[in-house]
Structure 1
Amino acid sequence: MVVTSAVVRTVTAGVHRHWLLGPIGHRPLGHVRRWRHPPVYRPLVDLSTMEERHVIITYRLDRATIQELCTQLEPDLMSAIRHPIGIPPQVQVLSVLHFLASGPFQTTVAIASGMSQPMFSNILSRVLSALLKHMQSYIVFPQVEDLPTVKGDFYGLGHIPNIIGAIDGTHVA
């Protein structure tokens, strides 16, 4: 049996490469690309197919508020799409809202949203930056002259004095 070519594995500075060698004693024919995993395309989340109750449980907002938020953030998120298979702005917003509402690991939300964890991490940064630009239209504190009324309203709800605001949150163990 005569070996006419071979694949040689080299490691240089921690980078693994595979080379296809020509007939023994000849120069290498070139680098052999090996994909560790083929790309996996998962279905993306779609708000229109979900029941309203499920939308509120999953994202802590109703459908109308989410659509308004998507419309407001769309210009910021569209400019961030760099490749033709970009994630639509609505899917970006929905995946980040799900992450903020439930607090699991990024990988869990990424899989549920139909994207990889590194892609979700990138989208999380983009959407949070876009949200910060519009924060004043969503986070409002009462004016000084309204404080007694607000305190009275909160006292009427739970009989706790001197409350001027509340934040929805989830305790994640």
Structure 2
Amino acid sequence: MAALDLALFHVPIQRKERTFRSKEELTLDYTDTELRARYRFGREGILFLSDLVRDKLTRQTNRNHALSVEQQIMVTLRFLASGSFLQVIGDTLGLDKSTVSRVVDSVLDALCEKRNQFIQWPTNLNQTKAEFYEFAGFPNILGAIDGTHIRIKRPHHDEPSFINRKGYPSLNVQAVCDAKGNVLLFSSSHNVILNCQSAVTPELNFRNQSHYSLFHITKSLY
């Protein structure tokens, strides 16, 4: 009957107009301080990452609301920086959850393909030691160690074990780099030095021999 009534009286069907939420926050028109507060990267860093993966992320589309490469990078950085759910990121930036999920997956895949440009295992540890000595005057140094906290979602089990001294859940990770700042090891293992599976490990196996002195340099906290 409803269809007949529509035909008889020519009542136009009201189609729901598609609306797009505002994406005003996805812009580089902030100061570097504001960008770092939101994305943990300044303008230069965001543009560097964008250029690095532009060939993988440029979308062949004529849609007016397609995300630019820079915006895709910013969405991913907001997700990584905040540790929030995809839905929360979408609500904050005016995007659907499915869009955020697709963007984050694409960006992370593209960045992982570039990992060998920045993560390098040492192939000549004598050269590494020589570079540390030339840089800072320390002999027999294999790497510099420091740690950081990576924010995560609140775990369902044993949550108190993941709450750091600042009151939010995180993974406590350590990184080892060489004299040039290249990352040699990145791990959340409790005993990262003894358990590491990198080219540094064979050298460390000699640490108990009196004729073999090797060190990692770090701050007094360690």
TM-score, normalised with respect to structure 1: 0.63
Work out the CA distance in 2 between the residues paired with 1:138 and 1:46.
Answer: 27
Distance in structure 1 (CA, Å) of the matches to 2:118 and 2:60:
25
CA distance in 2, matches of 1:123, 1:99: 10
Which SS does the other structure have where 2:150 is aligned?
coil
- Residues 117 and 81 of structure 1, relative CA distance in 2, 3 Å threshold: farther
Q: Distance in 2 between matches of 1:70 and 1:43?
A: 18
Match for residue 95 of structure 1 among 57, 75, 80: 75
Counterpart check, 1:22 vs 2:4? yes
Task: Measure, in 1, the Cα distance between the counterparts of 2:91 and 2:60.
Answer: 20
Gaps of 5+ in 1: 7-20, 24-31
Partner Cα distance (1:139, 1:124) in 2: 21
1:120-146, Cα deviation, whole Å (9 max, x unpaired): 111111111110111122334455231
CA distance change for structure 1 residues 64 and 142 in 2, over 3 Å: closer, same or farther?
Answer: farther
Shift of 1:53: 1.4
Partner SS, residue 151 of structure 2: coil
Of 46, 62, 69, 2:27 maps to: 46
Output the CA distance in 2 between the equivalents of 1:113 and 1:147. Answer: 47
Which of 107, 114, 122 is residue 102 of structure 2 equivalent to? Answer: 122
- Aligned-pair CA distance for 1:109: 1.6
Shift of 1:65: 1.8
TM-aligned CA deviation for residue 168 of structure 1? 4.4
- The residue type equivalent to 1:53 in the other structure is T
Aligned partner of 2:94: which letter?
G
8 A contact 2:81–2:151 mirrored in 1: no
SS in 2 for 1:170: strand
- After superposition, the Cα gap between the structure-2 partners of 1:38 and 1:93, relative to the gap in structure 1 and judged at 3 Å, is same
- Note if contact 2:82-2:151 (Cα within 8 Å) is conserved in structure 1: no
Percent pairwise identity: 18
Gaps of at least 5 residues in structure 2 are 6-12, 153-168, 170-222
Question: Which amino acid counterpart does residue 93 of structure 1 have in structure 2?
Answer: I
For 1:13, the equivalent position in structure 2 comes to none
User: 1:112 corresponds to which residue?
Assistant: 92
- Does the 8 A contact of 1:70 with 1:89 survive in 2? yes
Taking structure 1 as reference, are residues 140 and 58 closer, same or farther at Cα in structure 2, changes over 3 Å only? farther
Give the residue type in structure 2 aligned to 1:106: L
What CA RMSD, in Å, does the superposition of the two structures yield over aligned residues?
Answer: 3.3
Moved more, 162-171 or 96-105: 162-171
- Measure the CA separation in 1 of the matches of 2:86 and 2:60: 20
**Which runs of structure 2 are paired with 1:36-75 in the superposition (5 Å)?**
38-44=18-24, 45-47=26-28, 49-75=29-55
SS at match of 1:39: coil
Q: 2:114 maps to which residue?
A: 134
